[in-house]
């Protein structure tokens, strides 16, 4: 028995003779039989757990000894036939023998009937086709006086050829490949990208809200059925259903008519959905669709999916569909031809098939199904958590233990002081919190010493310390500082001072050496050096902490003018520089203490001295280095989606790795502000490049400055603005600082890479892809010069050449790049890079997937025709109509669970690095999926993330 999956046997017109011979021979074998008879059954296992019977053929087992010996009267069997016969004989167990005997009679009968019925039919098709083509050629090439007769003969030949294709289309629909296509062309999708309606109760509720005088207007139909984002498409659907219903007043419908429309729209029958879609195109109801009508439905689909460029080229794509479906050039297509286009979807899209599962995927699923005791489940989770987070755990544990130790030491120290008799545990708590504050105020500077961290990444310390979490650790310390301030300042102002003021003369005698002979008032305590510096520090820290929160830093809070300046990146950047004053006040505050009078016991300056000097040294280094790294702009391009590309000359001393970032300053915008951007050029390039998306006031001003010197591109069709060193106007100069380390720079440590970029988050991975491409090209050049022939991941050495050992061989064998964006114009950002990778990556190391979320998911009626045009154009021209590159664009969002499962099952046992850059929402989902696969699978997925 032979089982095939995802393989469609298609017999073209050129194979009719061969198919006819095959059927004739199978019928002869069925008639004459053999000594021992078996049946070969071919099944097709579908994804929806159904099994389709592809073919049932009689198979004859021969005597292997005679066939191999090649005696007289024995045919010369090929190795393939010997292997086939051996496999059939080997599988002839008792159960299979019984099964074959049951099917033998039916199979032979079906084979006979099938051969007799189709033999004459296919021969007639073949004869008709040959004569029809000859007649068509003769009519087109022969010019005679009887032109009317020639035209009539040509039309008859064209109609005969179309009739043959119609018959073949009927046969194609019975094939197993049609099963998948029959699930498409949905008008109402369960996974709609907008909130649609899916029940009759919702439909009735919408009707009651929108109806006037018991009737629903045509303009409200889209909102009523949940297609308000595709209003034009919904109106055409309304008109098609109205023509089908023969409504006299097509501007409004009643409740019953709406429910009738709804039943037709939600009908699960593919034929019904196909007829409705055809009626939308065939507005004159003549049963024929012209090229102009195809163009209109393409424009309608492009409008529904926000594909403005597709609308501009609708005429070209309509001609492409007519060329495919109307080879006879009759000028129209019919319903069955549109159906044929949908059923051939898999054939057109073979070039972009997803990764294939192997047996490991099944073992993964089975391992997850096995029942385990609750204790074992809990222990497995604990072990996995410790293994994945041991770096963070030991760092946080050490930090917490130091804070607990400092707090306890100071708490016990003041527990034995005289002031404790008056102030009690309020004093000990305040002093314990103060000791942790001094430690954290010193420690919080270390995670932002970027040059130091970049250098430490290269050392062995990088294996034990999670430097990728430096900003998260910085934020965690900031929270601890806020808690310490509340305990320290709160206990002093609300507890210590009131208890001191309310103490008796006898109790005050214990602290008379600290506060003087006269008991101070509350204001005396507050307006002293200790009080004033402490209160000012609390205010500055509160301002900086508030403006650094996500709500203010990302403009999520909208304030009225002029308070809107308190939000955004600039407010965060400037408020953080208040910490210069905070550290000055902190040292002064530590030198004027109420209860400490000896200088060597005033330890605040001891805590912060080294971190402050280190941070100050980094800022000084940054200042002088930015002067030497004042770069000149080489090229500028402004892309759709408000993205600015800056390409600059690379300084000779500027060395970086792919995945790193640098800070950029533009004196024409602001002489003080520095902003980080990922480097999108590869280390091997002779230039530096960054892509800047307009998100804040600084980036808006940067775009405006460069827009003034840009000019439209020469082609005039791309809609881009460009500038280079030949531009008459002078280009603004930039200062750069870096490079600085990032999680993505460690990509070379992994066997397999999964790079996921969300929108502008693709920037750090473009440099990685270009670097991988440059390295693979170098290896191919080494192979060609040393006589090494590469096939896939295997290499064969030519014996006649002396091939030295490769140096610096790539550890990464495969890289998968998934780019998800919501705007079609975004693909222009890296169009050149994607085309270059597609052309030069002969080894197939890099696999790219583009996803456009503005387009409805595959199978939706609003995107079906776009999918077909996309597949046809790519098959003919090798270019994707959406991205304009060689990389096919998928629609809607990826199924990340399937993506990760396929990659992990394909590369079983490999170390896979999953790198993500984008919004935090998807990072959480990817992290959880990596956790599940690591716990159940055989592959090891290391997840790294970056946020903008």
What band does 358 get if pLDDT is binned at 50, 70 and 90? very low
Q: Does 822 share its domain with 730? A: no
597, 656: one domain: no
Q: Is residue 502 included in any domain, yes or no?
A: yes
pLDDT of amino acid 88:
37
Look at residue 76 in the predicted model and tell me its pLDDT.
40
pLDDT digits (tens, 9 = 90+) for 688-727: 999 988 877 788 888 888 888 777 765 544 556 777 666 6
Same domain, 665 and 691: yes
pLDDT category at 476 given cuts 50, 70, 90 is very high
Residue 61 binned pLDDT confidence (cut-offs 50, 70, 90) = very low
Q: Are residues 563 and 591 in the same domain?
A: yes
- Looking at the fold, whether 240 and 259 belong to one and the same domain comes out as yes
Instruction: State the pTM of this model.
Output: 0.69
Q: Which of 195-209, 318-332, 392-406 has the lowest mean pLDDT?
A: 195-209
Paired sense of beta strands 643-649 and 687-693, if any = antiparallel
Q: Mean per-residue pLDDT for 178-189?
A: 62
How many whole angstroms separate alpha carbon 395 and alpha carbon 404? 14
Mean pLDDT, range 672-682, rounded to an integer = 87
Tell me the C-alpha distance between 921 and 130, whole Å.
61
Q: Is residue 156 part of a domain?
A: no
Q: Pick from 577, 580, 546, 578: which is nearest to 563 by CA? A: 546
Same domain? 726 vs 813: no
- Domain-ending residue, one of 245, 270, 295: 270
Q: What is the DSSP string of 259-298?
A: HHHHHHHT---HHHHHHHHHHHH-TT-SS-B-HHHHHHHH
Asked whether residue 246 is domain-assigned, the answer is yes
Give yes or no: residues 611 and 688 share one domain: no
HSE at residue 698, side-chain half, CA atoms within 13 A, is: 20
CATH of the domain at 238: 1.10.238.10
More confident residue, 725 or 49: 725
Mean pLDDT of 656-661: 88
Q: Considering only CA atoms, which of 437, 439, 448 is closest in space to residue 481? A: 437
Dihedral pair phi/psi, residue 57, rounded to 5°: -125, 140
What would the pLDDT profile of 617-638 be if each residue is shown by its tens digit? 988 888 777 666 778 888 888 8
* Strand blocks (E) in 632-783: 633-639, 643-649, 661-665, 675-678, 687-693, 711-712, 721-724, 734-740, 752-758
Predicted pLDDT at 612:
93
Same domain, 423 and 461: yes
Residue 796 lies in a domain: no
β-sheet bridge partners, residue 3: 43
Asked if residue 44 has pLDDT above 60, the reply is no
Domain boundary among 236, 270, 304: 270
Least confident of 26-40, 93-107, 491-505, 560-574: 26-40
Q: Which residue has the higher pLDDT, 810 or 187?
A: 187
Domain for residue 306, yes or no?
no
CA atoms within 13 A on the CB side of 901: 17
Rounded distance between C-alpha atoms, residue 453 and residue 661, angstroms? 13
- What mean pLDDT is predicted for residues 107-123? 51
Specify which residues 817 forms β-bridges with: 755, 848
- pLDDT (mean) for 493-509: 84
For residues 775 and 720, membership in a common domain is answered with no
| Total domains present in the chain | 4
Identify the CATH number of the domain in which residue 940 sits.
Answer: 3.40.50.80
The lowest-confidence range among 50-59, 465-474, 559-568 is 50-59
Do 917 and 827 share a structural domain? yes
pLDDT at 150: 54
Is residue 505 situated within a structural domain? yes
Q: What is the DSSP string of 326-355?
A: -TT--S-B-HHHHHHHHHTHHHHTGGGPPP
Q: Which of 621, 655, 676 is the last residue of a domain?
A: 621
Rounded Cα–Cα distance for residues 819 and 853 (Å): 11
Lowest mean pLDDT among 110-114, 749-753, 770-774: 110-114
Grade residue 786 by pLDDT with cuts at 50, 70 and 90. Answer: low
Nearest partner of 664 among 624, 692, 696, judged by Cα: 692
Residues 936 and 820 in one domain: yes
Query: Domain containing 715 — which CATH number?
Result: 2.40.30.10
Q: How far apart are CA 15 and CA 24, in angstroms?
A: 14
Residues 242 and 248: their CA atoms lie apart, in Å, by 9
Q: Is 867 a domain residue? A: no
Is residue 245 one of the residues assigned to a domain? yes
Confidence band (pLDDT; 50, 70, 90) for 24? very low
* 944 pLDDT tier (thresholds 50, 70, 90): confident
pLDDT at 299 over 90: no
Average pLDDT, the chain: 74
Q: Are 707 and 638 in contact (CB under 8 A)?
A: yes
Residue 675: strand pairing partners: 664
Give pLDDT tens digits for 125-152: 443 434 444 443 444 434 343 445 555 6
Which of 236-245, 378-387, 768-777 is predicted with the least confidence, judged by mean pLDDT? 378-387
Taking only the tens place, the pLDDT of each residue in 818-876 is 999 888 888 888 888 888 888 787 777 888 899 988 888 777 888 878 888 888 888 77
Provide the residue range defining the domain that includes 199. 181-270
Q: What is the mean pLDDT of residues 385-407?
A: 89
685 and 764, same domain (yes or no): no
């Amino acid at each position: 028995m032979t089982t095939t999956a995802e393989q469609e046997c298609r017999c073209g017109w050129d194979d009719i003779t061969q198919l006819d011979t095959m059927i004739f021979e199978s019928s002869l074998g069925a008639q004459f039989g053999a000594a021992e008879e078996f049946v070969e059954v071919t099944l097709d296992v579908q994804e929806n757990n159904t099994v389709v019977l592809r073919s049932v053929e009689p198979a004859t087992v021969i005597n292997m000894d005679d066939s191999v010996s090649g005696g007289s009267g024995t045919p010369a069997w090929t190795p393939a036939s010997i292997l086939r016969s051996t496999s059939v004989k080997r599988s002839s167990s008792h159960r299979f023998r019984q099964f074959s005997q049951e099917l033998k009679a039916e199979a032979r009968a079906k084979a006979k009937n099938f051969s007799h019925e189709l033999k004459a039919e296919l021969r007639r098709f073949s004869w008709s086709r040959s004569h029809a083509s000859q007649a068509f050629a003769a009519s087109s090439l022969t010019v005679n006086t009887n032109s009317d007769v020639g035209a009539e003969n040509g039309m008859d030949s064209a109609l005969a050829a179309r009739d043959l294709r119609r018959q073949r289309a009927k046969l194609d629909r019975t094939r197993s490949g049609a099963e998948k296509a029959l699930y498409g062309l949905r008008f109402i999708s369960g996974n709609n990208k907008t909130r649609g309606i899916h029940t009759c109760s919702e439909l009735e509720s919408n009707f009651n809200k929108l109806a006037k005088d018991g009737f629903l207007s045509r303009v409200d139909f889209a909102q009523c059925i949940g297609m308000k984002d595709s209003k034009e498409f919904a109106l055409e659907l309304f008109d098609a259903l109205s023509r089908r219903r023969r409504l006299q007043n097509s501007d409004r419908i009643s409740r019953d008519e709406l429910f009738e429309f709804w039943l037709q729209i939600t009908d699960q029958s593919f034929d019904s959905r196909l007829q409705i879609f055809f009626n939308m195109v065939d507005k004159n109801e003549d049963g024929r669709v012209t090229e102009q009508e195809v163009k209109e439905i393409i424009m309608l689909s492009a409008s529904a999916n926000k594909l403005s460029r597709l609308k501009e080229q609708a005429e070209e794509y309509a001609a492409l569909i007519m060329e495919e479906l109307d080879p006879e050039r009759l000028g129209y297509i019919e319903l069955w031809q549109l159906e044929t286009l949908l059923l051939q979807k898999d054939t057109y899209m073979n070039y972009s098939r997803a990764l294939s599962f192997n047996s490991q995927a099944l073992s993964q699923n089975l391992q997850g199904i096995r029942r385990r005791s609750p204790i074992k489940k809990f222990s497995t989770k604990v072990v996995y958590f410790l293994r994945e987070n041991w770096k963070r755990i030991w760092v946080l544990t050490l930090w917490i233990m130091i804070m607990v130790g400092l707090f306890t030491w100071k708490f016990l120290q003041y527990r034995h002081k005289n002031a404790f008799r008056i102030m009690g545990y309020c004093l000990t708590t305040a002093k314990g919190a103060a000791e942790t504050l001094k430690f954290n105020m010193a420690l919080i500077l270390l995670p932002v010493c970027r040059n130091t961290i970049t250098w430490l990444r290269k050392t062995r310390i990088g294996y034990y310390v999670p430097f990728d979490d430096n900003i998260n650790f910085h934020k965690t310390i900031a929270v601890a500082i806020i808690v310490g301030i509340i305990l320290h300042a709160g206990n002093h102002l609300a507890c210590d001072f009131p208890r001191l003021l309310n103490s008796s003369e006898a109790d005050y005698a214990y602290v008379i050496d600290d506060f003087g002979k006269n008991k101070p008032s509350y204001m005396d305590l507050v307006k002293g050096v200790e009080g004033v510096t402490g209160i000012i520090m609390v205010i500055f820290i509160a301002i900086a902490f508030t403006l650094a929160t996500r709500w203010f830093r990302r403009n999520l809070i909208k304030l009225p003018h002029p308070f809107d300046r308190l939000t955004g990146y600039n407010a965060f950047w400037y408020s953080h520089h208040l910490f210069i004053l905070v550290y000055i006040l902190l040292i002064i505050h530590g030198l004027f203490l109420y209860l400490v009078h000896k200088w060597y016991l005033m330890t605040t300056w001891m805590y912060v001295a080294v971190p402050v000097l280190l941070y100050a040294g980094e800022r000084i280094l940054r200042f002088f280095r930015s002067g030497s790294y004042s770069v000149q702009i080489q090229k500028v391009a402004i892309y759709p989606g408000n993205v600015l590309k800056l390409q600059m000359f690379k300084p000779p001393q500027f060395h970086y790795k792919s995945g790193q970032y640098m800070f950029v300053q533009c004196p024409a915008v602001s002489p003080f502000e520095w902003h980080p951007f990922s480097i999108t050029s590869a280390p091997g390039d002779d230039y530096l490049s960054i892509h800047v998306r307009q998100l804040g006031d600084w980036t808006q001003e940067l775009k405006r400055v460069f827009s003034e010197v840009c000019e439209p591109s020469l082609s005039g069709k791309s809609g881009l603005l460009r500038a280079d060193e030949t531009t008459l106007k002078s280009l603004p100069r930039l200062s750069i600082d870096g490079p600085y380390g990032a999680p993505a720079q460690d990509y070379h440590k992994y066997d397999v890479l999964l790079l996921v970029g969300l929108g502008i988050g693709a920037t750090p991975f473009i440099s990685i892809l270009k670097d991988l491409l440059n390295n693979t090209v170098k290896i191919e050049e080494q192979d060609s010069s040393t006589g090494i022939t590469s096939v896939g991941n295997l290499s064969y050495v030519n014996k006649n050449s002396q091939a030295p050992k490769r140096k610096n061989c790539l550890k990464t064998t495969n890289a998968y790049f998934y780019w998800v964006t919501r705007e079609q114009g975004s693909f222009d950002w890296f169009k050149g890079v994607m085309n270059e990778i597609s052309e030069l990556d002969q080894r197939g190391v890099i696999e790219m997937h583009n996803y456009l979320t503005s387009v409805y998911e595959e199978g939706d009626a609003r995107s079906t025709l776009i999918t077909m045009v996309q597949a046809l154009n790519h098959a003919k021209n090798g270019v994707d109509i959406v991205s304009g590159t060689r990389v096919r664009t998928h629609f809607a969002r990826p199924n990340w669970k399937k993506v990760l499962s396929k990659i992990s099952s394909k590369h079983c046992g490999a170390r896979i690095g999953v790198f993500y850059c984008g919004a935090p929402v998807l990072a959480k989902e990817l992290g959880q999926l990596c956790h599940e696969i690591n716990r159940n699978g055989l592959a090891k997925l290391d997840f790294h993330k970056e946020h903008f």
